A = this chain, B = another copy of it.
Amino acid sequence: MSQDELKTVEEYMRKNGLRWTSQRRQIAREAFATHDHFSADDLLDVCKQKDVRVSRATVYRTLGMLEEAGFVEGLDTGDGGKKYEHVLGHEHHDHMVCTKCGRIIEFFDQELERRQERAASRHGFLIESHSLKLFGKCRDCR
């Protein structure tokens, strides 16, 4: 279950003088419930279906907050949209996005990470985050 994760978020909020409101709890709960990639609006829809009433603005605000705190990670889908995925219990990974069916495949390669760090330091650049996406056709669509 996501009880522990929710506790962690609550703790974070409280420690930072942020309030643990019912909306924030609901949003965090949903964010951890899906093991999929979701947009702010996707999450809003799920809330509506469950008769949980939160405003669109709050979803955006809270998701932004959770992202900043590192509980979720946002990735631009390249079509002007943004998708989130929760991070707790996940190792860092990159993404392959199928340009036909929209499927998102996660992958990780330690050497990739290392080379990025190395490239950055060559330019005196300090990496805060990175985004590596491979666009193309997944096994089923190629």
The residues of A with any CB-CB pair to B shorter than 8 Å are 76, 78, 80, 94, 96, 98-99, 105, 107, 109, 111-112, 115-116, 118-120, 122-139, 142
Taking CB atoms, residues of chain B closer than 8 Å to A136 are: 120, 125-129
**Cross-chain contact A96 with B123 (CB below 8 angstroms):** yes
Taking CB atoms, residues of chain B closer than 8 Å to A78 are: 76, 131
**A64 → chain B closest CB, angstroms:** 13
**Cross-chain contact A125 with B112 (CB below 8 angstroms):** no
Assuming the contacts A115-B112, A131-B131, A133-B130, asked whether A139 and B120 have C-beta atoms less than 8 A apart, the reply is no
In whole angstroms, how far apart are the Cα atoms of A109 and B112 in the complex?
10
**Cross-chain contact A124 with B112 (CB below 8 angstroms):** no
**Cross-chain contact A135 with B139 (CB below 8 angstroms):** no
Most chain-B CB neighbours within 10 Å: which of A105, A111, A134?
A: A134
Assuming the contacts A120-B134, A132-B131, asked whether A125 and B109 have C-beta atoms less than 8 A apart, the reply is no
